[in-house]
Amino acid sequence: MKIEHFLKKSLIIPTLFTASKLEMELQQRLSAHDVSTLEALILVAITFEGRDCRPSELALHLQSSRARISQALKKLIEKNLVDRKLEREDARFIAIKITPHGKNLATKLISIFDRINDVIENQLGAKNAEQTATQLFHLLKRF
């Protein structure tokens, strides 16, 4: 097709296609644990932090809206993976605490992310993969 020439010179098209394929692969693996990508990222983020987190922190660092974080947290609470609690210092703020079941699942989810990341690193090489990730995060700031 005539579009092939355009597609081969475009940066956005292979980026979109790759992101879509990665999302589908990730969702397929996460579905075995009954969590969405955002829910998985929330559990992993709280686990890496090693402390309770505010929804606003999660929204900022996970590049998501507060509304989407709130919806995901509601589902995680229903699944007994996290709990909400009032902060002691200021009762106006809510902190999200991971449950033991949530922490156990987060360990499995980290492994899923790591395995997919390994495929990418093997394709690009570790140094190129790190540079690509850095460049993609810089691009995020532009849009």
User: At which residue do the structure tokens 């790591």 appear?
Assistant: 114
Q: In this predicted model, what pLDDT tens digit does every residue of 59-75 receive, in sequence order?
A: 999 999 999 999 999 99
Which ranges in 79-99 belong to alpha helices (H)? none
- With b for 16 or more beta-carbon neighbours within 10 A and e for fewer, the 50-75 pattern comes to eebbebebbbeebebeeeebeebbeb
Mean pLDDT, the chain, rounded, equals: 93
Report domain extents, the chain: 21-142
CB contact at 8 A, 84 and 73: yes
The share of the chain scoring above pLDDT 90, in percent, equals 76
Residue 2 carries which side chain, given as an amino acid letter? K
Q: Where are the beta strands (DSSP E) in 4-53?
A: none
Q: In this predicted model, what pLDDT tens digit does every residue of 18-60 receive, in sequence order?
A: 999 999 999 999 999 999 999 999 999 999 999 999 999 999 9
Neighbours of 138 (CB within 10 A): 9
Please tell me the predicted confidence (pLDDT) of residue 91: 66
Please tell me the predicted confidence (pLDDT) of residue 123: 93
CATH of domain 21-142: 1.10.10.10
- Say whether pTM exceeds 0.75: yes
